[in-house]
Amino acid sequence: MAQKAAKQLAAKNTTTLNRTHLISLANNVLFLFLRLIIFRKAYNRNTLTLYVLLTAPAWAIEFWLEKIGRPQYVENGELRKSGEDLDAKGLTEFMWDILYWTWACIAAAALVGNGAWWMYAVVPVYSAWMASTMILNMKKGMTGMTGQGNSGGDGGEGSGDSKRQKKLEKRGGQKVQYR
């Protein structure tokens, strides 16, 4: 069977995107139904403004995931492009996190009210924390490359030798030469 992996990815992407659209539709209809019809007394002008403003990133992300993940077929039903992997690490994973968190905020705002939109403030805090840990880890890695500080071994200052290299040198083995 030709392109088995591509066909599996296409089927998985189609299922994931269809499920995503259904959950999003249900969540948004629930919000509009509860806020505009059931809790009509609690409705004010800010409700709809906050809803549109704070769900816009989720709509944009959902549109982007649809664009990159939806498989494309030629006229005879043959797979032309399977789409990007929607389970990829990095930015795609972060976009799914934003989408899930927005859905949670929509559901909470539908049930509790406009005060639940403050949950969305977690996103920039989380982003800042992730960026700071990434920068600190990069900084640690760079100090090892430049020879600054001790590399964590028992040896001399800034020697950078691994434990195995030190053992070999103690036994009189070959000394590793650096250029």
Question: What pLDDT was estimated at residue 159?
Answer: 57
Question: Token pair 């964590």 is at which residue?
Answer: 152
Question: What pLDDT was estimated at residue 45?
Answer: 73
Question: What pLDDT was estimated at residue 147?
Answer: 58
- Beta strand spans in 76-166 (E): 79-81
- Reported as a single tens digit per residue, the pLDDT across 75-112 is 888 888 888 999 889 889 989 999 999 999 999 998 88
Q: Hey, what are 114's tokens?
A: 């406009």
Cβ atoms of 103 and 27 closer than 8 Å: yes
Q: Which of 28, 29, 51 is nearest to 113 (CA)?
A: 51
**pLDDT of residue 153 exceeding 50:** no
- Reported as a single tens digit per residue, the pLDDT across 17-58 is 999 999 999 999 999 998 888 877 766 777 888 899 999 999
More confident site: 117 or 41:
117
Positive or negative CA dihedral for 6, 9, 15, 17?
A: negative
Cβ atoms of 98 and 20 closer than 8 Å: no
